[in-house]
Amino acid sequence: MTIGGRGLHGHVLDTLGPSITAGEYPPGSVLRTDELAQRFEVSRSVMREAVRVLESMHLVESRRRVGVTVRPKDEWNVYDPQVIRWRLAGADRPQQLRSLTVLRSAIEPVAAGLAARHATSEQCAALTDCALGMIATSRGHQLEGYLLHDVAFHRIILTASGNEMFARLGDVVAEVLSGRTHHDVMFEDPDPAAVTLHVRLAEAVRARDAGAAEDLTREITVGALHELDILAP
């Protein structure tokens, strides 16, 4: 996932970031840069760079005479891909997965509706390819291949929406889907109903039927909500 090794300060972040997002340091905890520098065996300058990054993520606040204090969770930049990855990798994973899935259920239907209006013919073709790939890999424990096409499918929808902010959620969706296959239980072949929905969605987009695209995507995301027992009665 993360390259991780973009400099020494990156290494520090890879350890310190997850610790904070995992709630290892309760809000208000105070860290001192020199102490951290010693602990991670880096110079103060490197430590300061790491703190600056954490600060820009609103995970911590650095104040004179006080130190580096950990901020309460509701002030974090929860849309930062790095923060999302850290949370998905740690104890906070279940909640992060739930909130992301709810986010998907809000975004993706609208994105699909827009995609039906704005998708290029190349994007329509690619979408169909992915759907066909999903069919081909939906049986016989080809989970990896299925995941690949599933991720690509949703990425195309988000990109084709023409909204830059939707497009940037592609990585997040990829992370969620891949987590479902790898991290969580998914022994059996994917639900045939889900495959069908994707195929019909590809058709709807190609047919420029925004309403159908939106509804079909809503069905897909409702399925995802149910997988996590998030009730939507």
The residue ranges that bind its own copies (CB under 8 A) are 6, 9, 45, 48-49, 52-53, 55-57, 62, 73-74, 76-82, 95, 99-100, 102-103, 105-107, 109-111, 114, 163-168
| Burial of residue 90, with CB atoms counted within 10 A of its CB: 0-12 exposed, 13-18 middle, 19 or more buried | middle
CB nearer its own copies, residue 55 or residue 209: 55
Buried b (16+ CB within 10 A) or exposed e, 203-227: bbbbeebbebbbbbbbebbeebbee
CA distances to 40, 51, 83, 152, 174 from 69, in Å: 18, 10, 17, 40, 32
CB of 51 to DNA, least distance (A): 6
CA atoms within 13 A on the CB side of 161: 23
34 touches which of its own copies, DNA, none (CB within 5 to 8 A by kind)? DNA
Report if residue 7 touches DNA, rule: CB under 7 A: yes
166 touches which of DNA, its own copies, none (CB within 5 to 8 A by kind)? its own copies
77 touches which of DNA, its own copies, none (CB within 5 to 8 A by kind)? its own copies
119 touches which of its own copies, DNA, none (CB within 5 to 8 A by kind)? none
Report if residue 53 touches DNA, rule: CB under 7 A: no
Report if residue 71 touches DNA, rule: CB under 7 A: no
Contacting residue, 20, 46, 212, 224, with DNA by CB under 7 A: 46
Report if residue 180 touches DNA, rule: CB under 7 A: no
Buried b (16+ CB within 10 A) or exposed e, 114-145: bbbebbeeebbebbbebbebbbebbeeebbee
State how far the Cα of 160 lies from the Cα of 208, in Å rounded to an integer.
Answer: 12
Q: Binders of DNA: how many residues, by CB under 7 A?
A: 24
CB nearer DNA, residue 39 or residue 93: 39
Contacting residue, 2, 62, 82, 196, with DNA by CB under 7 A: 62
Please report, as ranges, the residues that interact with DNA according to CB under 7 A. Answer: 6-9, 31-34, 41-46, 48-49, 51, 62-68
